Structure 1
Amino acid sequence: MARLFGTDGVRGLANGLLTAELALQLAQAAAVVLGHERAANGTRPRAVVARDPRASGEFIAAAVEAGLSSSGIDVYDAGVLPTPAAAYLIADLDADFGVMISASHNPAPDNGIKFFARGGQKLPDEVEDAIEAQLGKEPSRPVAGDVGRIQRFSDAEDRYIVHLLGTLPHRLEGLKVVLDCAHGAASGCSPQVFASAGAEVVVIGAEPDGLNINDGVGSTHLGQLKEAVVKHGADFGIAHDGDADRCLAVDHEGNEVDGDQIMAILALALKKSGKLKDDVLVATVMSNLGLKIALRDAGITLRETAVGDRYVLEAMRDGGFSLGGEQSGHVIFSDYATTGDGVLTGLQIAAQVAGTGRTLKDLARAMTKLPQLMINVKGVDKSRAATDEGVAAAVAAAELELGDTGRVLLRPSGTEALVRVMVEAADMETATRICTELAGVVEDRLAIPHELAL
């Protein structure tokens, strides 16, 4: 049977994979696994529950809260909030754990359930496995005064906003910022915190109706933000995704500033202020080689991990590092957050623009993005990608040709029968030629025989 938990909780079509019944059972299982410590001390465990504004989040949250409270967990219902807000509030309240109901950048019909441990930390695989193993077993069924109570976490958003404002080194007067909230969880708090910090704010994508989350707006659809920044003569724009754990930016000319460029800007700033622990930035192997070159030239080491913010977080925790993230815009400041926080990241970008007096376009020149091309080679035996001699020889030849001016990455998909071939080079013509040639080798060498593919 396939593992229920994916790379970021349990996610799928609401009322398809993710039913009210499953949400209830997951909550009951989590209550046993995550609530046992406080329960052993004779006091009721506490959990924070938050969600993004998807329509399905209403019934899923109700099921989760029913499962928790019926298992003896006191529930603090934080309502609609970003994922990083939920993580922060778990720590701020000293709750035993928390639940975020969101499918992040996915379309509205999807939803997900993600659990956080005490302190707002993501769960390791073994704890998720323990929750999954608990499904189907008899849940805890306290009675009378031992059942959990559900209460509205009325000042949840205010606490989060105060926390965010406390991270700023100075105010943002004089800046004009366009915010695209993806009709998502940041639609209330992001405009409020930027305005409270002194910026002039233009807001788009902040009218969630439960069905329009991520629909043509947000960090996966930057077109409207680019147009709005130019139209309003703004200094820059910030785009969140549905649960606001990521941030991409647009400069005053409408050019995209991706997660790698954002990390370069912030890493250099932290190093200059002496706050970049061990002069290390943590990022995944998918980050552009231009980031590594820019950091090397600035005396900063790039620590690379597998793809996924959970692996970035693990490396940051293991080394005590202060900054990490992904090209997609998940940026983690360990001094202020336990997970990627798009609103926090946007504020820190704004602080650099305001503090330096430089445009975001100028700051983004801290790194030069190398042309990058990725081809998904489908219908192949991905398990042999790392061991096939012909593929290895082709990769070695490509790497020899590229030298220090590019790189090759072959990455088997975690969910599909395909291998991703990615090539970076000094120019797009070279990247395209080498990537196409390598994709052909992968297709020829790793092809699944027709009779086995049927």
Structure 2
Amino acid sequence: MFGTSGVRGRFGDTITPEFATALGHALAACDYDRIVIGRDARTTSPLLADAVSSALRGAGTDVICAGRVATPTLARGVSLTDADAGVMITASHNPPADNGFKLWSPSGQAFNEAQRDAIERALAAGDAVSVSWDAVGHETTSPDLTESHVSELSDAVDIDGDVSVVVDIGNGMGGATVDALLEMGCDVQTLNATPDGRFPGRPSEPTAETCITLCSVVEATDADLGIAHDGDADRMMAVDETGSFVEGDELLALFGRDVVSAGECVAAPLNTSLLVDDVLAAQDASLTRTKVGDVFVAERTQAGDVVFGGEPSGAWIWPDETLCPDGPLAACKLVELVEQRGSLATQRSELASYPLRRTSLEVDNKRDIMEAVRSSLLEQYDTTAVSTLDGVRVEHDNGWFLVRASGTQPLIRLTAEARSAAQADALLETARGAVEETGI
């Protein structure tokens, strides 16, 4: 039920007020006695928040209402409100018809596998706690968690303010980025700054295709860079001063290079470019690969030798600050990097470039297809060339490809990378063929 980032789906289908009520009962049955609830700007988020809160209070659990906040704001707020857990109602970067739930621990980390399994068991069993009329839980309003988040952002970076930034909030919850940068004296322009769960400005996920307006504005002005967030602001992507979209692997390399020392590690999923390995190796550091999903990256960052973690999709984790992917923190860190190291375009030019191909195939039965792909590829290749840590990754002499089911959508994601464009294209087609040849 829980994917790589909580549970989400189409409202009225998999995500309903009834499911929200059942989730509230399950949390109470798992002995979470005090829970803070936040929500994004989606039109269905208020009623889902009401349903969770009602179920929790009916089971004797106290609820703190954080209102409309970013996911990293809510994650940080679990400890600030002295709660046992946090519930964020959001579908992150998904389309406006979707919604979902992300669950957070006081450490600021998403629920781990054991916690998720316990909630799933309680949901499957229909566990519900019933209390007498005089033992129901109380609902209170939290202090301004966004204000606290902004203050923590200012403490986390050293920015003198001599930077011009265009921030595309994407009609989502990334306002903390604007507030923090303004407080630090930056020149800030905004796009799609009004929270609106219909996402009229652009699709919620910040990609090269959806950030065309941001690229144009940055190019047409004297801005030093552009920042883009998704709907709940756990993701951050960027545009350099020439108006060019910065790829996630490049950001991962730049952030990693900035923070690592010799002998230290950066954690990233197994679909990360060889570029990052090369950049870290130049500093006698290394990349440790995880399953795809920020929860797995966050878990790996708790090892003593890991100083940073990230995903090319836009999730960035500085474990000394928080174990939640924090889009506003990443935005402030990138502005700091530009102020201290200069032009973002110049920094990118220092990086090698390997052809990396990514695409997705929409399917109805991703589990059966992946089982067939796994069996087929294990038969075709030497076992030393195949990793089944998450999906199936196959190493070739001059590159690699990965076939992996999405954790949150009915998709199978294909990734291929090689030393030349022709080789990358060929490997991507090999990956596509492995799926299509199953005939499922």
User: What TM-score, normalized by structure 1, do the two folds share?
Assistant: 0.86
User: Structure 1 residue 264 and structure 2 residue 253: aligned?
Assistant: yes
Structure 1 residue 108: Cα displacement: 1.0
User: Structure 1 residue 23 and structure 2 residue 20: aligned?
Assistant: yes
User: Structure 1 residue 112 and structure 2 residue 97: aligned?
Assistant: no
1:200 pairs with 187, 192, 197, which one? Answer: 187
Q: Which residue of 2 aligns with 1:410?
A: 402
Structure 2 residue ranges without an equivalent (≥5): 387-392
1:291 pairs with 276, 282, 285, which one? Answer: 276
Secondary structure of 1:111 counterpart? strand
CA-to-aligned-CA distance 1:210-257 (integer Å, 9 cap, x gap):
322673465131111101111222100011111111111100001111
Q: Which residue of 2 aligns with 1:143?
A: 132
Q: Which residue of 2 aligns with 1:38?
A: none
Secondary structure of 2:36 counterpart? strand
Structure 1 residue ranges without an equivalent (≥5): 36-44
How has the CA–CA distance of structure 1 residues 137 and 217 changed in structure 2, closer, same or farther, with 3 Å as cutoff? closer
1:352 pairs with 337, 342, 347, which one? Answer: 337
Taking the aligned partners of 1:113 and 1:422, their CA distance within structure 2 comes to: 27
Partners of 2:204 and 2:231 within 8 A in 1: no
CA-to-aligned-CA distance 1:339-396 (integer Å, 9 cap, x gap):
111110010010111123x101122234323111246577984324344366327997
Give 1:153's aligned amino acid. Answer: S
Q: Which residue of 1 aligns with 2:219?
A: 230
How has the CA–CA distance of structure 1 residues 382 and 16 changed in structure 2, closer, same or farther, with 3 Å as cutoff? closer
Identity of aligned residues (%): 29
Partners of 2:257 and 2:279 within 8 A in 1: no
Taking the aligned partners of 1:191 and 1:108, their CA distance within structure 2 comes to: 23
Which protein has the bigger helix share? 1
Partners of 2:109 and 2:298 within 8 A in 1: no
Partners of 1:107 and 1:213 within 8 A in 2: no
Matches within 5 A, 1:291-310: 291-310=276-295
Give 1:19's aligned amino acid. Answer: T
Taking the aligned partners of 1:263 and 1:58, their CA distance within structure 2 comes to: 35
Q: Which residue of 1 aligns with 2:267?
A: 282
Secondary structure of 1:245 counterpart? coil
Partners of 1:385 and 1:419 within 8 A in 2: no
Q: Which residue of 2 aligns with 1:219?
A: 206
Structure 1 residue 434: Cα displacement: 4.1
2:346 pairs with 359, 362, 386, which one? Answer: 362
User: Structure 1 residue 249 and structure 2 residue 238: aligned?
Assistant: yes
Taking the aligned partners of 2:310 and 2:374, their CA distance within structure 1 comes to: 26
How has the CA–CA distance of structure 1 residues 191 and 284 changed in structure 2, closer, same or farther, with 3 Å as cutoff? same
Q: Which residue of 2 aligns with 1:42?
A: none
Moved more, 14-23 or 232-241: 14-23
Taking the aligned partners of 1:212 and 1:419, their CA distance within structure 2 comes to: 25
Taking the aligned partners of 1:400 and 1:216, their CA distance within structure 2 comes to: 32
Larger Rg: 1
Partners of 1:263 and 1:325 within 8 A in 2: yes
Give 2:51's aligned amino acid. Answer: A
How has the CA–CA distance of structure 1 residues 309 and 34 changed in structure 2, closer, same or farther, with 3 Å as cutoff? farther
Partners of 2:177 and 2:331 within 8 A in 1: no
Q: Which residue of 1 aligns with 2:390?
A: none
User: Structure 1 residue 435 and structure 2 residue 420: aligned?
Assistant: no
Secondary structure of 1:114 counterpart? strand
Matches within 5 A, 1:7-406: 7-35=4-32, 45-135=33-123, 137-168=126-157, 170-186=158-174, 188-212=175-199, 215-216=202-203, 219-220=206-207, 221-271=210-260, 278-319=263-304, 321-356=306-341, 358-374=342-358, 381-388=369-376, 391-392=380-381, 403=397, 406=398
Secondary structure of 1:385 counterpart? helix
Structure 1 residue 422: Cα displacement: 3.3
Give 1:229's aligned amino acid. Answer: V
Structure 1 residue 178: Cα displacement: 0.4
Tell me the matched-pair count. 425
Give 1:409's aligned amino acid. Answer: F
Structure 1 residue 175: Cα displacement: 0.6
How has the CA–CA distance of structure 1 residues 238 and 384 changed in structure 2, closer, same or farther, with 3 Å as cutoff? same
User: What TM-score, normalized by structure 2, do the two folds share?
Assistant: 0.88
How has the CA–CA distance of structure 1 residues 420 and 395 changed in structure 2, closer, same or farther, with 3 Å as cutoff? farther
Taking the aligned partners of 2:140 and 2:413, their CA distance within structure 1 comes to: 47
Moved more, 316-325 or 156-165: 316-325
Partners of 2:297 and 2:310 within 8 A in 1: yes
Taking the aligned partners of 2:3 and 2:77, their CA distance within structure 1 comes to: 24
CA-to-aligned-CA distance 1:133-182 (integer Å, 9 cap, x gap):
223545222234422111121322111111111101x2242111000111
Partners of 2:264 and 2:307 within 8 A in 1: no
Give 2:189's aligned amino acid. Answer: V
Give 1:302's aligned amino acid. Answer: L
Secondary structure of 1:130 counterpart? helix
Taking the aligned partners of 1:214 and 1:8, their CA distance within structure 2 comes to: 24
Structure 1 residue 61: Cα displacement: 0.7
